[in-house]
Amino acid sequence: MNEILDKIKQKYSAEDVKVQRTGLAFVTVNKDVALDAVTWLRDYEGYSHFVMMSCVDWIEDGKFQLLYLLHNPVTKTDVGVKTLINRDNPAMTSGHHLWKQVWTYQRELKEAFGIDFPGSPRVDENFVVEGWVDIPHMRRDFNTKEYSEETYFPRPGRETHDPATYMREQLYPNQPVTAKRKDNDK
């Protein structure tokens, strides 16, 4: 494991190498060499199983963080390759030639975050939501509650109660609250 991490550091000048636990490590590499690193891990180091690909929205830094998680079925270890891309006009080199399931992940990311993967097959088709015209719905600046209230006719009169307090008020209004109960309420 550590050998591989050292090699990645040397070959792709990886930063922020973090071993999460035995058999799981994350590295952050530059956007330009991220797919090279993934390809190298797949072809030379035996990380042939593509687990998943996901995205984190770092809105304060103006960055999207992409994660390619790979698994080695022989040594039973995982390596996550992270990379940061710009939040304005986000685009990333497509990895559809590496695994077929990457197509679907890239389609999902295109719909949910608006990240473009030029050349990826069917990347412009709907993934989950049909006919979406607003900003991509998984971005953090999209306010889902506001959107729901504007669009879906909220029924007035909706209120929320803490179940423990509400039940006590309704069922045993005269009973004093004991110290023990107070602790439980936390």
Partner 1 sequence: MSEKDMNYKVSQMLKRSETNVSNAKKSFVRPEDEEREVVAPDGSIMKVNPIYDYFSGKRPEEEKPKNGIVEKFLNWARAESIWVLGFGTGCGSIEIPPLVTPRFDMFRFGVQMRPTPRQSNAFIISGYLSVKTLKRVIRTYEQMPSPKYILALGSCTINGGMYYDSYSTINRLDKYIPVDVYIAGCMPRPEALLAGFMKLKELIKAGKAEKANEYARNFDEYKANQKKIIKDWNMPDYNW
Residues that bind partner 1 (CB under 8 A): 119-126, 128-134, 137, 142, 144-145, 147-149, 151-155, 158
Alpha-carbon 154 to chain mean position: 29
Which of residues 62 and 119 has its CB atom nearest to partner 1 in the complex?
119
Tokens found for residue 61:
């830094």
Which of residues 18 and 140 has its CB atom nearest to partner 1 in the complex?
140
Shortest distance in whole angstroms from residue 52 CB to partner 1: 22
Angle 135-136-138 (CA atoms, 0-180°, nearest 5)? 130
Which of residues 61 and 150 has its CB atom nearest to partner 1 in the complex?
150
Distance in angstroms (rounded) separating the CA atoms of residues 25 and 81: 9
Shortest distance in whole angstroms from residue 132 CB to partner 1: 7
Shortest distance in whole angstroms from residue 41 CB to partner 1: 23
Distance in angstroms (rounded) separating the CA atoms of residues 138 and 65: 13
Shortest distance in whole angstroms from residue 78 CB to partner 1: 28
By C-alpha distance, which of 140, 115, 109 is closest to 127? Answer: 109
